Structure 1
């Protein structure tokens, strides 16, 4: 489930990081996603408050929570399900208060297992087709969806729908559907840009966690 959650945010961050997709199957979809990329490239930083929903009707699972993430260049800080994940440009820190445990690892942008903004910039370039899909009206806003389908038939992902606000060109919603019936939905509640950020936002202060077990992976 952890990998599924990370992959969902990988999908979302790819577009927030401003990637331009190649090998398009749909000119309108390519044009819309490029507009999203152009818009977010102009921002120095982004803060996103979101709702995270996980459901599987067959398994009787229906969970809903909120989270937030701040992105500034290669650095980010994600709060979700009681866990904080922070990347300071060199090290990835995962803080789990319930277990009083912290995991620290060095992240290599070229590492296939590294979930960093650098990885997110290339994750989506190959392996998926995409096309223009439905639109919805949400509180007077037109949300246009682009459907993404993995080329690999062995992928556990069946499809993903990325909803874009047609006026602002901001991401509004991501819906991922797995072949096992699990659905992850991320809905953006608020999207703020170019905010004044504390100088220590991405600085890990070990002294604050004196009672925690620190697992240094490298």
Structure 2
């Protein structure tokens, strides 16, 4: 019927598979030290180590690579409780991800670190901030964490930034060319999370409009970020 508005196309955010294998890890100067730590296991300077870096920088990917090598179990800090601590160390290796107060049981983590030291277990911790910057209420835990050696992941350089864009697009089965990669790279904040967010937005807008991912579409979406 004339004059009737066309229905707006809905975009469904379908889950995409993101490989966490060693072969799919993108190496660069920003993560070289962290990757070296993972690959040097079990020759670590300490049985408990911590990876620190911003959201999306690859901590979970590195933790998954190490867990595969070491036969480690994995748990998030907020899923830890005192009763479960002995079981989590059953294999002699454990990943504890996202130490981000106040969303975890501080006494449970302190108990875990003590038990790991007694049992000679390996533990890989991840956090967005280094221990001195994490607000920990339990003094003994604060002291114990500050004694843990830290490997920090840095912001991506130009090469790694562009490689991340290509990988995030490939994970979503988005076909892009170099002009799109360059356009996104020059108009997003130099951080892992910002690049991931830009690619997510571009994917959603492409689905909504039923358009291929082109520089023109990226320009419409990222307008004003110059």
- Which structure is larger by alpha-carbon Rg, 1 or 2? 2
Greater share of strand:
1
Judge same fold: TM > 0.5, yes or no. Answer: no
Superposition TM-score tier, normalisation by shorter sequence = under 0.3
Q: What TM-score results when the alignment is normalised by the length of structure 1?
A: 0.26
